Structures are given as C-alpha cells and as structure tokens.
Amino acid sequence: MNCNERVEAEWSRLAQPDKADILRESLAAMGNRGRDVRPYGDGQTAEVIVNRRGRINGS
C-alpha cells in the first residue's frame, strides 16, 4: 500500500509542516481506524489460480 492509498483509506493523514496543522491533523485522527482495505487481496488467490488453471487445462 503506497502513501496515496493510505491517505485515501484514511489510515494516514497529510499535514503542512507547521505545529498547528500537525496538531489539528493528529487530533482529528485520534480514534479513527480508517476504512477496511485489503491491498494484498483477500487471501484466496491460490485457490482462484488453481480453479482457473483447471478450466484452461480442461480438468
């Protein structure tokens, strides 16, 4: 997951390099877990590959 994806999913925040903005963004982030995202898939990739390969090979 890159920086843009983390910001879009609300896991990270961007702040201007000044104390007031850093404090404001830090306080706004407290208690926020962000959206449930799965940047690396759902854990079912191997099963999908096996099933598709079987269809291609005629099994």
Report d(CA 48, CA 59) in Å as an integer.
Answer: 14
So what's the pLDDT on residue 7? 80
Q: Which two tokens stand for residue 11?
A: 């896991």
Q: Which residue has the higher pLDDT, 2 or 46?
A: 46
So what's the pLDDT on residue 29? 85
For the whole prediction, is pTM greater than 0.75? Answer: no
pLDDT-based confidence at residue 59 (cuts at 50, 70, 90): low
pLDDT > 60? residue 12: yes
Q: Structural domain of residue 35, as residue ranges?
A: 3-57
* Count of domains forming the chain: 1
